[in-house]
Structure 1
């Protein structure tokens, strides 16, 4: 029985019909491939659209230009052209076969054999092609059966696939977390464990990208446990232990109970020991952005005793406060209610107002203003009238101290 790609909004994106016509889809020269086909068959939203084609990449560029479609040669040396459509980019890649690989990059040759192109992909569920017009699925390695069973299998020998691209180790666990049924293919898992040290040959940016994608899925805990048990992350992130996975599991439950969207970066903070300096080192090692590193550090810095949620948010920002409150398993979740829709206010008084009240210009002004702010925060940000009273009280206190 022929399996057909279900109809969906993404198949009617503006400009897509013109792109398919330009690529000769009616003559069998272009098919949807990979994630779009996989996710469409699972009834999931399709965000990224990839097209495989038997056309030479330079021919693709010429055809797109002739059709008035912007073509960006994002990876032309490896056969990939990006078509810019009104609703976003579409990647078009010429059918390929691997000539040689070193675990990080491959030397490829073009082919017109769809099965040969499928054979170089990682998992059977990612090697599904769909005719854009009829929707007919081409399945060369029983990917449809695996998709139905939520079974994750490498194409061919797992060890050989990993040797071609070491990143497939991390991709295996990410895809297991998102698409697998948690029944692990022992040959695939053993191959990942055996090759774990090869992760050291990868750029830290690629490792970070896969790790953050894994932490961003709905249920990453089982995959993380398998990774720790097998020593997968030990070569590149020895700080990650089973205790960290337990913290991630607790965090997931708190995110769900509070109705707050999960955050991969927050989950990374849970995965690491509660040490801000160490978190910054890990962030630097993974080449995370300065903002991401700062968020990790803020999430794991020691707290202030008896600090209210709003006082915390005023001091470190709402995002940081939400991270801290969710990561603190001993803190009641209703503490988060105080931050819902709340924006930290600005102290409605400045040093000039204290001088007007009689405080002498000089170092005391800054100190007195800090005291007013401390009292204002301690009283949960009262109105301007109360701030004026606090200012009067503080100025009097400093004046008495100077007498």
Structure 2
């Protein structure tokens, strides 16, 4: 009988009270990522629980026990219990009634295996008794974990047809956990890659960025391109761009720069601002993400010549991106805070210049010289201003 190790998270404050309120191990089990990651000796952040109780019953029991509860996904049977040790999502057992590749119609169930059967991968369908920590494995997830194999529950093509996003989830989980490839899964993802076109852009963007944020997604990204998956969701990424991703990740490691998903997406795009704008709009990236991606796409061969000037003009994050993408060493920018230009337009007006475009021209002229001289102190700025006014 397999058991979870006695991990710290299993003793988080409030968990025992939650289990008792829901009727004990007969009615509630830990499920999914917390179980999987504990068995792999990975850190656990989020805890998910599955229960045989209906959502209304869950809410009533938790309230009676004095536990605050939020109906975060009540239509899908999910509520969130707010505990002193952190929130826990509690979801009623479900089984699929129908699917269309984007969403599923479900009904509540009372059988643990029925709920496990509707999950995507065997390694995500492991349950654990909250008291004895016994692990319940209905589809060979423990063997797949031992082999570091990401395998769909049942037939891979059937599971992908239920939810097309599972193609991208497969590659993300393969990059995170996989070592041994599952040929059935690989073939199914390749054959059904075109179904990704029907998904919401936000869902595709989330999966891509989650994949790119992993320590080294480059082998997986290369395989996605070979299998025809990457051209569907990011057609701008050709062989050269995939190689550039490899180089960028190597540079991050060499210079001790934290991985960054937007930087890595920029590596997968040609350095053309218009292309970055198009991709940002297609994937519906946030404004901050779009600005970062387009700034990185504006990189030039001269970016590393004056790194602090580049960071002052474009922001430190973008400067680090551009230097890394160009193969340079941005270490001097790590932790660097851009100074504030110590001159205001009002001071120029006070020197007799009429308010208007001329003030802006002088201000920018002095600022450019201040940047070029490496951000000297206020005294030098006053000298630069005097020289500008004399011209």
Distance change in 2, residues 1:385/1:97 (3 Å): same
Range moving further from structure 2, 235-244 or 117-126: 235-244
Q: Which residue of 1 aligns with 2:99?
A: 101
Say if 2:221 and 2:230, in contact at 8 Å, map to a contact too: no
Q: Which residue of 1 aligns with 2:205?
A: 208
Distance change in 2, residues 1:169/1:362 (3 Å): closer
The Cα RMSD (Å) is 1.6
* Residues 355-394 of structure 1: per-residue CA shift (max 9 Å, x gap): 5556566543322221111111001001122222212222
Task: Establish whether residue 383 from structure 1 lines up as the match of residue 377 from structure 2.
Answer: yes
Q: Which residue of 1 aligns with 2:281?
A: 284
Say if 1:95 and 1:114, in contact at 8 Å, map to a contact too: yes
Residue 308 of structure 2: which of 304, 310, 315 is its match? 310
Return the alpha-carbon distance in structure 1 between the equivalents of residues 226 and 355 of structure 2: 63
Q: Secondary structure at the match of 1:52?
A: strand
* Residues 119-176 of structure 1: per-residue CA shift (max 9 Å, x gap): 1111111111100101110111111111011111111111011111111100000000
Return the alpha-carbon distance in structure 2 between the equivalents of residues 101 and 360 of structure 1: 69
Task: Establish whether residue 120 from structure 1 lines up as the match of residue 114 from structure 2.
Answer: no
Residue 248 of structure 1: which of 230, 245, 249 is its match? 245
Return the alpha-carbon distance in structure 2 between the equivalents of residues 118 and 255 of structure 1: 39
Q: Which residue of 2 aligns with 1:400?
A: none
Task: Establish whether residue 6 from structure 1 lines up as the match of residue 24 from structure 2.
Answer: no
Residue 29 of structure 1: which of 27, 32, 37 is its match? 27
Return the alpha-carbon distance in structure 1 between the equivalents of residues 285 and 295 of structure 2: 15
Q: Secondary structure at the match of 2:72?
A: strand
Residue 196 of structure 2: which of 181, 199, 202 is its match? 199
How many residue pairs match? The answer is 390
Q: Which residue of 1 aligns with 2:265?
A: 268
* Residues 237-274 of structure 1: per-residue CA shift (max 9 Å, x gap): 22122222211111111111111110111111111111
Distance change in 2, residues 1:133/1:355 (3 Å): same
Say if 2:301 and 2:326, in contact at 8 Å, map to a contact too: no
Unaligned runs of 5+ in 2: none
Return the alpha-carbon distance in structure 1 between the equivalents of residues 40 and 10 of structure 2: 15
Return the alpha-carbon distance in structure 2 between the equivalents of residues 361 and 202 of structure 1: 53
- 1:315 Cα shift? 0.5
Say if 2:29 and 2:130, in contact at 8 Å, map to a contact too: yes
Q: Secondary structure at the match of 2:127?
A: strand
Say if 1:39 and 1:46, in contact at 8 Å, map to a contact too: yes
Q: Which residue of 2 aligns with 1:401?
A: none
Q: Which residue of 1 aligns with 2:147?
A: 149
Return the alpha-carbon distance in structure 2 between the equivalents of residues 340 and 128 of structure 1: 41
Give TM-score scaled by structure 1 length: 0.93
* Residues 187-214 of structure 1: per-residue CA shift (max 9 Å, x gap): 1111011111111111111111111110
Q: Which residue of 1 aligns with 2:361?
A: 367
Return the alpha-carbon distance in structure 2 between the equivalents of residues 94 and 361 of structure 1: 67
Return the alpha-carbon distance in structure 2 between the equivalents of residues 239 and 129 of structure 1: 41
